[in-house]
Amino acid sequence: MEMNMHMNWKEIARATLNGAESDEIAFAQSVKMLMEAGFEGYAVDYRHSTRTYYLPDGQTLELEMPRNNAPVAEHFDGDVVRAASREAQQLVPGYIYRGFCEKVVKAGCAGYMVSLLGKRVLYYGRTGETHTEHFPGTQSAAQP
């Protein structure tokens, strides 16, 4: 999906969410679109079924996401979240965003925060456990 330069920031946020949900926009392309539009990041809340986008001036936009079929598991399994993230980064055959969401929710991921400024994604569980993934190419492979 080509970003229309005449789109406003709210339309760009909606386009990235819709593109993820329809598997028409990969994460890397979504990140590029949001960065070019001036976003700082966004947060996904699986328990509330929302995605909130943030601009540097304090403006936000909260969009509804489809509800998950299952509640967020109580135990956070960072290894499963890491593996699901790797599948998304590598766009393994059969990868779909809804499948990613289902995997991480079953692994106890209550949501995640994408920091475009920090070039990382912070996944978190119901009791505060976390797992951080850096955008590909932004850190040494030796680090977690």
Query: What pLDDT was estimated at residue 137?
Result: 66
Query: What pLDDT was estimated at residue 1?
Result: 38
Query: What pLDDT was estimated at residue 144?
Result: 34
- Express the helix, strand and coil content of the chain in percent, nearest 5 each: 30, 25, 45
Tokens of 5: 């330069």
CATH of 9-134 among 3.40.50.300, 3.90.1310.10, 3.30.1810.10, 3.30.310.40: 3.30.1810.10
Cβ-in-10-Å burial (0-12, 13-18, 19+) of 65 comes to middle
Query: What pLDDT was estimated at residue 136?
Result: 79
pTM for this entry: 0.87
Q: How far, CA to CA in Å, does 46 sit from each of 35, 52, 113, 121, 137?
A: 23, 11, 11, 15, 27
| pLDDT profile of the chain (144 residues), mean per 10 | 61 94 90 95 97 96 91 96 90 88 96 97 96 76 35
